[in-house]
Amino acid sequence: MNTFTRVLGFAAALVAGGALAACSSAASDQSGSSASSTGSGDDRPTIAVSARTTDSDFYSLWLSGVKSEAEKLNVDLKIYDANGDDSQQILDLQSATAIQPDAILVDHGLEGVTPAAVDALDAGIPVVSFDSVIDDDRVTTVSQSDHDLAKLTADQLVSDTGGSAKVVYVYVAGFEPLDLRNETWEDVKTANPGLQQVAQIGVVNESTVVQVAEQAKAALQENPDVTAIFAPYDDFAKGATQAVQELGLQSSVKIYGADISDADIAVLTEDSSPWVATATTDPSNVGAVALRTAYLKAEGQETDSSVLVPPALVTGQELRDKGITTVAQLVTAFPSLRTDEISPVTQ
C-alpha cells in the first residue's frame, strides 16, 4: 500500500473511530493492559501484536517465537496483552490502530474483535490473524491446519480403541482452533458409529486445567465405562490427565490431546501416563511464521491468504523411546516441525 492511500485510509478511520481509539488507549493504561515494545521509532517496520492472553504454555511459547523472529528481522514490535479479557482486546486493537503500525497481528481474537479489525483494515493497515475469528476477506490467516491436527489425534483414538469406545469430549465453542477441531471430531464420530460421546465438558479461563480436571472427574464417575477422552488442547489434556490419575483409572482411560511444551512432555512421558498421544506443531515456530507473515504484509509483499503450519502426531511412547524431555529435542527428532519455508522472507 502506498503512503498516500495509507494516509487517506487512516484519516477516514480517525473520523469513524478516532475518539474511541483515544479513549481506548487511556482505558488500557488505567486497566494495566500491557502494551510493551521491543524497540522504538526509526525506519524499521512496526508490527503491533494483540494477544488475547499469554497465560499458558502454548501462548507464551508462541509469543517467544514472535519476539525472536521480530528481532531477526529488525522489527519494532508493540505487544498488547489483554490478559484473557475480550473487551480489553478490542480496546487494544483500537489502540494499536491509533499508532498506525505497518501491520497488526491478532492472536486468538474472538468474534467481538471483528469491528476493530475492520477499522484497522479500513485505515489501510494489513491485519494478520492467528487462531482468530475475524470475518473479513482482507485478513490473512495463520493456523495450525486444525482439521489435520484434530484428525491425527482422533485417528490415533480410533486405532487404539478399534473404533468402539465411550468417550468424554472436552470442547468450548467460540475459539477458532477449537471450532475447526470440533468439525473434524464430528466427522470422525460420523465415520465411526462405534464411538459414543457420553459427555461433553470444558472451560477456557485462567484456571482451565483445574476446572477441566474437576469436570472430567465428575464425567468419569458418572460414566464408569468410558475408555477415551478426546481433549484437543494441552490445558484440556492436562486437566483430563489429573482426573484420570486421581481416580486411579490410568489402565482403562486414555487421553488424546493437542499441543506440546516442556511441561506437557513431562506429563506425556510419566510412567503409565493416560495422556498417550498429542497432535502438535512447535508453538514458537508457529509464532515465527505468524510474525514473518505480518512482516511480508507490512512490506507490501504477497503471502498466501491462508497460511497453514502442518502438525505432527507425537506419542508418549515415542518420547520415552527417544529420551525426549524438551520441545527443542522434539524438533530435532521431528524436523518437519520447523517450517522456515512457510512465509519466507528474503532480505
Tell me which long-range contacts 245-249 makes (C-beta under 8 A, separation of at least 24): 245/274, 246/213, 246/217, 247/217, 247/220, 247/221, 249/220, 249/274
Q: In the range 42-61, which residues lie near ligand SR1 by CB under 6 A?
A: 58
Q: Which of 112, 78, 113, 84 shows the shortest CA–CA distance to 98?
A: 78
CB contact at 8 A, 291 and 105: yes
Angstrom CA distances, 151 to 62, 161, 201, 287, stand at 22, 15, 20, 22
Q: At 318, list the grid cell.
A: 515415542
Q: Is residue 178 involved in binding ligand SR1 (CB under 6 A)?
A: yes
DSSP 165: E
Q: Give the helix, strand, coil percentages of the chain, each rounded to 5.
A: 50, 20, 35
Q: In the range 106-165, which residues lie near ligand SR1 by CB under 6 A?
A: 131, 144
Give the N- to C-terminal CA distance of the chain in Å, as an integer: 19
Residue placing its CB nearer to ligand SR1 in the complex, 172 or 276: 172
Residue placing its CB nearer to ligand SR1 in the complex, 178 or 324: 178
Within 10 angstroms of residue 51's Cβ, the number of other Cβ atoms is: 26
Residue placing its CB nearer to ligand SR1 in the complex, 204 or 255: 204
Residue placing its CB nearer to ligand SR1 in the complex, 102 or 235: 235
Q: Is residue 185 involved in binding ligand SR1 (CB under 6 A)?
A: no
Q: Is residue 233 involved in binding ligand SR1 (CB under 6 A)?
A: yes
Q: In the range 277-316, which residues lie near ligand SR1 by CB under 6 A?
A: none
Residue placing its CB nearer to ligand SR1 in the complex, 10 or 233: 233
Q: Which of 225, 213, 224, 157 shows the shortest CA–CA distance to 185?
A: 157
Residue placing its CB nearer to ligand SR1 in the complex, 69 or 131: 131
Please list, in sequence order, all residues whose beta carbon lies within 8 angstroms of the beta carbon of residue 104, skipping any fewer than 6 positions away: 47, 48, 49, 50, 93, 96, 97, 117, 120, 125, 126, 127, 128, 294
* Residue in the shown chain whose Cβ atom is closest to ligand SR1: 233
Q: How far is the CB of 341 from ligand SR1 (least distance, A)?
A: 21
Q: How far is the CB of 144 from ligand SR1 (least distance, A)?
A: 6
Q: How far is the CB of 258 from ligand SR1 (least distance, A)?
A: 5
Residue placing its CB nearer to ligand SR1 in the complex, 17 or 283: 283
204, 212, 255, 276: which one binds ligand SR1 (CB under 6 A): 204
Residues in contact with ligand SR1, counted by CB under 6 A, come to a total of 10
169, 171, 175, 230: which one binds ligand SR1 (CB under 6 A): 175
Cα angle: 333, vertex 310, 153; to 5 degrees:
80
Q: How far is the CB of 179 from ligand SR1 (least distance, A)?
A: 9
Footprint of ligand SR1 (CB under 6 A): 58, 131, 144, 175, 177-178, 204, 233, 258-259
